[in-house]
Structure 1
Amino acid sequence: MNDGFGLVVRFSLRDQEAATAFDELCARTLVGIKAHEPGTLTYVSHVPDGDPLVRVFYELYADRAAFDVHEAQPHTRRFLAERERHLTGVEVTFLDVVDGKVAVQP
């Protein structure tokens, strides 16, 4: 395996209105991620079955440096600043790659 670096983030949202606004914020942020972050390999938001006020992000980066680039981007900094008004909690788990299968980059 390479030096991949990842994280899982669980966001708890205030209410359905906050969830809708949070999803819109995520969609705007994703535009910047797709356009400016070649080291961001996977960035996916999930809604757990039966838990509509939770979002779980799975993020995988080429390495820790790619994550640092992601964190410094204007779209990410805007997301980090604006997300708080929608949340009641955040849990972050950082992940170091041990082994596995990843898609081949073209």
Structure 2
Amino acid sequence: MDVGFALVVRFTLRDAAAAEGFDELVSRTLEGIRQYEAGTVVYVNHRVPDEPGVRVFYELYESRAAFDAHERQPHVRRFLEQRDKYVTAVEVTFLDGIGGKVAAGAAFA
């Protein structure tokens, strides 16, 4: 089973005001991802319970090529240029899929 190309990104935010700004930046970025990125299967921003200054992204792409195309998008470039004013640390973990389940027609608001 091909489960695509995935990664997890953990952001440590500067403070509560930075969290608000970061979440707004992500919201604007997600608009572009939804509209222009057919190869992005899952792109979800999570809050971490008991860690209000942390956000975790789970990203799943159809392929490495789809991830590379994502990285070149103007909305993603803007996110990368602006995120550092909100973030003190970024940890990226690339994942090798072994297997899993993907629900047909799954979507998140």
**In structure 1, what is the equivalent of residue 72 of structure 2?**
72
Percent of counterpart pairs with the same letter?
60
C-alpha root-mean-square deviation of aligned residues, in Å? 1.2
TM-score by length of 2: 0.93
1:17 aligned partner, one-letter code: A
Q: CA deviation at 1:102?
A: 1.1
Q: Give the gaps of 5 or more residues in structure 1.
A: none
**In structure 2, what is the equivalent of residue 13 of structure 1?**
13
**In structure 2, what is the equivalent of residue 101 of structure 1?**
101
Counterparts of 1:64 and 1:96 in 2: how far apart (Å)? 11
Aligned length: 106
Q: Residue 2 of structure 2 aligns to a residue in which SS?
A: coil
**In structure 2, what is the equivalent of residue 91 of structure 1?**
91
Q: Residue 47 of structure 1 aligns to a residue in which SS?
A: strand
Q: Residue 12 of structure 1 aligns to a residue in which SS?
A: strand
Contact kept? 2:10, 2:90, Cα under 8 Å: yes
TM-score by length of 1: 0.96
**In structure 2, what is the equivalent of residue 24 of structure 1?**
24
Q: Give the gaps of 5 or more residues in structure 2.
A: none
Q: CA deviation at 1:104?
A: 2.6
Counterparts of 1:44 and 1:37 in 2: how far apart (Å)? 14
**In structure 2, what is the equivalent of residue 34 of structure 1?**
34
